[in-house]
Amino acid sequence: MIYTARRLPRHRGPAAWADILGPGPAFPRIDSNIAADVAIVGAGFAGLSATRRVLQIWPQARVVVLEAWRVADGAAGRNSGFMIDLPHDLASEDYAGAGDDQRLTRLNRQAIAFAGAAAADYGIAPDYFDPAGKVNGAATEAGDGHNRSYSRHLGNLGEPSEWLDAQAMTELTGSRHYLSGLYTPGTVMLQPAGYIRGLAAGLAVQADIFEHSPVLNFRRVGGDWMLRTPKGQVTANRVILGVNGHLESFGVAKGRLVQLFLFASMSEELSPEARTALGGAPRWGVTPSDPMGTTVRRIDAGQGGHRIVTRNCAVVRPGLQPTDRDMVRAARSHARAFARRFPQLTGMRQAQVWGGHLCLSLNGVAHSREIEEGVFSACVQNGLGTTRGTLTGIAAADRCCGQVSEITSYFDAESDLKPLPPKPFSTFGANAYLRWKEWRAGVE
């Protein structure tokens, strides 16, 4: 069997979280033939977590990581940086999950603890891994209702939350946009590129990491797998795929993955005058009470500068690349959401606008299994890729090293990914549905 990458990742706009930090650690391009015990494809949350976990279980293993771009250039440097512990079902009205939310929360916390231990071990700046919690903001009566229902759901799970009224929201954010907010303490606010770069730099002491080294194909050769890149190859006994939606590019789970693109903008650096006009706290994160609304973050000097990050707009692109029109629509939508929230910053430019890839399944399950002898997946993270990517990475490493854990058992028990309706109807229908959901989310 040969697995050929029909598509390689391509990005629109900058990986702004990486850009604002300046140059990071650089890793070479593979240009020779290497033998390894484990080859890991993809250096995002899943691939790097898998690397750490393999080395915890099997410290002498020779582990090679192959990344198509630079570390933190992909979705890892393009997300909003909420590493959330609680149920976060984007398909629901209020994030409550349909499954065993208590168990999932416990596992999410294992992932966060794993990431926290990595941050401590590798000396990652505390500002890049900030256990500050987050707020679910509500801007309308409907949003307020979603928040109340979510808060009841959390109460039933025994999870603490704190209700913020309109004034408290203004004191936090400087914005008068919100009617209320629901604070939950367990989310870690990442500088996602800072965290991922720190993880890669720490792992590089034990593992060989290669950038600009896309895997073009891999196939069985005797008892091993041979992975081919443009300038070199790796022969390894075991392979872990941490490529998220690009699993489908290798021909796996075809017709079962929703290739979703999300978009975000980052403001130019806020001058001292702009910061005074804005008011509020220097660092906070607000997710929308309606999952299809706008996520906003304020970051400060410790995370790459005083800036505001705005995320909204979603589109399904099975070709794995957003269009020019998607970018223009997103930039306009971000500008509107920003102006509505921060009239005191009128005229402020969005310095960076970008798109990023995340991958869902229709029934919200991950792809975490042994695909064929010696080939393991850590893919399809659904709406919570920082946490779920970490979890699927751990699970793949456990499986690869023959370990059974609560995490592998969780993914083993998930049902198969539900097939999508035939194209082009599925794409057209999904995008029409997303537009309707965005319209319904309104100013949320």
Strands 307-316 and 295-299: antiparallel
Residue number, 202 or 385, with CB nearest to ligand FAD: 385
Residue number, 152 or 332, with CB nearest to ligand FAD: 332
Which residue is nearest to ligand FAD, using beta carbons? 385
Among 173, 368, 381, 427, binds ligand FAD (CB under 6 A): 381
129 binds ligand FAD (CB under 6 A): no
Cβ-in-10-Å burial (0-12, 13-18, 19+) of 136 comes to buried
Does an H or E element contain 194, and which? Answer: helix 192-203
112 binds ligand FAD (CB under 6 A): no
* For helices 101-121 and 192-203, angle between their N-to-C axes, nearest 10 degrees: 60
Residue number, 5 or 179, with CB nearest to ligand FAD: 5
236 binds ligand FAD (CB under 6 A): no
Helix (H/G/I), strand (E/B), else coil: 196:
helix
Binding residues among 38-67 for ligand FAD as defined by CB under 6 A = 41-47, 66-67
Token pair 């209700």: residue: 163
Among 12, 52, 53, 78, binds ligand FAD (CB under 6 A): 78
CB of 82 to ligand FAD, least distance (A): 4
135 binds ligand FAD (CB under 6 A): no
8 binds ligand FAD (CB under 6 A): yes
Binding residues among 248-277 for ligand FAD as defined by CB under 6 A = 262, 264
Q: Which residues, 6+ apart, have CB-to-CB distance to 331 below 8 Å?
A: 263, 265, 350, 353
CB of 192 to ligand FAD, least distance (A): 7
Among 17, 27, 82, 411, binds ligand FAD (CB under 6 A): 82
Cβ distance 88 to 95 under 8 Å?
yes
Q: Which stretch binds ligand FAD (CB under 6 A): 100-108, 171-179, 218-226, 236-244?
A: 236-244
Among 244, 289, 352, 377, binds ligand FAD (CB under 6 A): 244
Alpha-carbon distance 284 to 282, whole Å? 7
Q: What is the dihedral of CA 71, 74, 76, 79, to 10 degrees?
A: 150
Among 214, 291, 304, 364, binds ligand FAD (CB under 6 A): 214
CB of 385 to ligand FAD, least distance (A): 2
CB of 66 to ligand FAD, least distance (A): 5
CB of 44 to ligand FAD, least distance (A): 2
Q: Which residues, 6+ apart, have CB-to-CB distance to 30 below 8 Å?
A: 64, 66, 210, 213, 229, 231, 232, 233, 234
Rg (alpha carbons) of the chain, rounded to whole number? 21
Residue number, 114 or 274, with CB nearest to ligand FAD: 114
Strands 63-66 and 208-210: parallel
Left, alpha or beta for 205 (phi > 0: left; psi -120 to 50: alpha)? alpha
The Cα angle at residue 301 between residues 354 and 184, in degrees rounded to 5: 75
> Reading across the β-sheet that carries 307-316, which strands appear in turn?
162-165, 180-184, 134-138, 284-288, 295-299, 307-316, 258-267, 350-360
Q: Which stretch binds ligand FAD (CB under 6 A): 232-240, 354-362, 397-405, 407-415?
A: 354-362
User: Which residues contribute to the site for ligand FAD (CB under 6 A)?
Assistant: 5, 8-9, 41-47, 66-69, 74-76, 78-82, 214-215, 242-244, 246, 262, 264, 311, 356-358, 381, 384-387, 389
